Structure 1
């Protein structure tokens, strides 16, 4: 991908920003590596092969973990008590064990000595089987891309499809791909991030989105594989690994060969009031799984600018990008899988708004040259005037072409009016195709002056980001989040949804998924 012109940014200031982000983020990593959550333990059980749900729709992983938690807690991890019971009491498999546990017919205990060793080995072998599925999916993606080919251009065109009914989503997604979309994102049903379980099976009802389930993942991936072969380019599938089941959804995505996942370190904290510690613990394992699966993560900095002013709060986006970069690298994600987010959200009525948008976009592109940045269209200042909206989306597309963005989300002129119709998507895709085709390699020719407005604005935002990082290092990231630093949402570390599902590791804590993923190279 051709890189845009470089702004005369202070190299030492950039290096200092990264050092500060590491210092700000390390205490959170220390928290994540010394705590577990119910979702982390359920993700381990899913990788070990447990699936399905009871007649009430509650997944067996929930039923089994609830019984373990009731008997011995999760501070030691669920692997040893579960696999000790499996080995010592002659249960056929995890599913049968979960059935009996849900009926109260099993009492879990912590094994010691040789029994603990046997349970550890059995759990490790079972989880390795799940990771083998993840590895096979990554190899299949590589094979298909090699055979069929990637989209011929960057940025990749990213389009959202979600009706609530997976069987309606499929033909819409295939139609969108035929019309030019390179990435299909199936947005989740409103409120799914607050469910402390993952629904089971194919779903046909959802509000403003479709439930993320393993079966829905499988169905959509199979359909897009068919369309990829038809079109002669690999169409990528995106969903959402966030909320109270973040690591579980990451595991399902890896096992069903999704290609991208929304996975921001702070989105659930700020916009869903999920406990910060719960979120940071869950997101670390989810990112380790994504790294193993070769899944590109997309972060959510664009959301800050839907609540905070896009000019005054521009530096908070840069700070979050730097923190997301540190957390991603620490979990094993390389730059090529790190789709950092930012957005075209400055009030269009402001003088020089487009020049500032270019400055912010160029700053992100220069700070993260090897990342497939995800560039988000205007939403906050869309008024329902579809003609003005289509024009504003055209300017957004132009900024993306001029600054070398990696993933361009298609803006909808009907934003804030209706859930888009197929005809709306077609008009929006025409807008994207026209701008990208007309601009061609404009990124090669766009060279703002070193002492001009764009360069000065980018340097200003970088300086403000460093000042904020210095304050965060002094005060602590959890306190900064609690004080409303990002997106003006105040989320203290001792509150929020899911806190009761967090436990500090006991001295003998063991989780084979964490153990196998810790230094994962993508192969077992």
Structure 2
């Protein structure tokens, strides 16, 4: 077939890359389908309506899942033991049972025969009710988009992160009034390493605000209010990553978040979370995201903060192809794959801007249906705020030229301090000017045939295919252990959270997984998914 697109990429090379990515992903998908984790089981309990925590802040879902694990194990899931105990014991509801579990007075067994069938039916009804609530919130988003309108692309993406949800809310609304289309509430530092989800509205986060269901609810309501005021829908994003990835995904669906940071390898590489735990948790979380109409935002941009952006460009493409395969298998559509990349080449490198254009256009053509999120320069920002502001403008220009879907605003004081509100206003002014001045300039940007941009893009794709051949041969877990992505080495049996991984036994039952596996997540949906961007997850 003849080459196609502005870069004249060889379609056979592109097909080969996707074929290799699918083969590399398959053993990991098989592992995820045959294992569970403590957080996957707790996510089921949250979907069934169990919320709240004890006086010390330990969630009831943790108490209940831990009691089941201690008494009968998690190999068969929590559903059968928990709903059997509700049927046969004195407990009024899940909350009452969880309190008894915390006191040590609840007793669990693995039911058989008619008792197992009854527990299976009861747990299925509870899971169905939770998924129905997610479906309702998805329909609610579709109505909001019709009523208030969808902003033009590229979306302008901005971070709010004070640590206090009641400070975040007015800042987020102010940012929307200044032009932000997506508000990301960055998580408190280290929350990804907590094996529980905090409860309630929080006011003391560190370099971010804790991701909790109540914080999700409060910010969603605030952004709905400002959306109606402005006449355009303002999207909300947070983080489904770390040791509680499945639970946070469920809470995001229940509270109508629009996008969630959810990368196949970020937590492994940058937070030292066990690879097996991450991939198992991720499959369930992406199934929930698919059902909720949430866009996942991947973290390839982070590789370029530890590796050279020129030398490691092909690792970004390989990760994007793997994220695409994992996402499709879990039910995500192309318009839910907010694949990430970044403008992180050292500006001192000759032709650095041309290299950036080649990389960005390559990603655009490899994933034409994806809402790509493009990250601004951070690694090479310095105390020279004037040079930083200029570099951000070049980043914005590259984003418009290559038709990126979401542009996260760059901050001129990135290399000095946490930006002031006035810095944010200047950054918004910068991206608004470039977006408005350029208009549809992407239509006119056509690299010279056989020129620098085309040759560089083809080289990166060729290097990606070579790396995928090695990953497919040696195994993805081996590649991660060898430091292929982001330099850092993470062995398959190392990191945090491995003790929470359990191989499923014959007869394992999780009704939420059964529903999500069996049903088309988009069957009742007519609206396109939202669009999203990403910053470094906590």
CA offsets per residue over residues 471-511 of structure 1, 9 Å max, x none?
01110000000000000010000111000000100011110
TM-score normalised over the length of structure 1:
0.98
Name the counterpart of 1:19.
19
Map 1:212-223 to 2 at 5 A: 212-223=211-222
CA offsets per residue over residues 431-470 of structure 1, 9 Å max, x none?
0001111111110111111200000000000000000000
Name the counterpart of 2:385.
386
Name the counterpart of 2:403.
404
Q: Report the Cα offset of residue 307 of structure 1.
A: 0.2
Map 1:30-429 to 2 at 5 A: 30-151=30-151, 153-429=152-428
Question: How far apart are the structure 2 equivalents of 1:420 and 1:53?
Answer: 35
Question: Secondary structure at the residue paired with 1:154?
Answer: coil
Q: Report the Cα offset of residue 208 of structure 1.
A: 0.5
Whether the aligned pair in 2 keeps the contact of 1:39 and 1:282 (CA below 8 Å) is yes
Whether the aligned pair in 2 keeps the contact of 1:292 and 1:520 (CA below 8 Å) is no
Map 1:426-505 to 2 at 5 A: 426-505=425-504
Question: How far apart are the structure 2 equivalents of 1:134 and 1:442?
Answer: 39
TM-score normalised over the length of structure 2:
0.96
Whether the aligned pair in 2 keeps the contact of 1:127 and 1:512 (CA below 8 Å) is yes
Whether the aligned pair in 1 keeps the contact of 2:224 and 2:234 (CA below 8 Å) is yes
Q: Report the Cα offset of residue 428 of structure 1.
A: 0.2
CA offsets per residue over residues 184-214 of structure 1, 9 Å max, x none?
0000000000000000000001111000000
Q: Report the Cα offset of residue 269 of structure 1.
A: 0.3
Q: Report the Cα offset of residue 387 of structure 1.
A: 1.0
Q: Report the Cα offset of residue 519 of structure 1.
A: 3.0
Whether the aligned pair in 1 keeps the contact of 2:163 and 2:188 (CA below 8 Å) is yes
Question: Secondary structure at the residue paired with 1:243?
Answer: coil
Question: Secondary structure at the residue paired with 2:243?
Answer: helix
Question: Secondary structure at the residue paired with 1:185?
Answer: strand
Question: Secondary structure at the residue paired with 2:95?
Answer: helix
List runs of 5+ in structure 1 lacking aligned partners: none
Q: Report the Cα offset of residue 10 of structure 1.
A: 1.1
List runs of 5+ in structure 2 lacking aligned partners: 525-538
CA offsets per residue over residues 206-262 of structure 1, 9 Å max, x none?
111000000000000000000000000000000000000001000000000000100
Q: Report the Cα offset of residue 416 of structure 1.
A: 2.6
Question: Secondary structure at the residue paired with 2:245?
Answer: helix
Question: How far apart are the structure 1 equivalents of 2:165 and 2:406?
Answer: 24
Q: Report the Cα offset of residue 5 of structure 1.
A: 5.6
Whether the aligned pair in 1 keeps the contact of 2:6 and 2:447 (CA below 8 Å) is no
Where has structure 1 moved over 4 Å in runs of 4 or more? none
Question: Secondary structure at the residue paired with 1:261?
Answer: strand
Whether the aligned pair in 2 keeps the contact of 1:5 and 1:446 (CA below 8 Å) is no
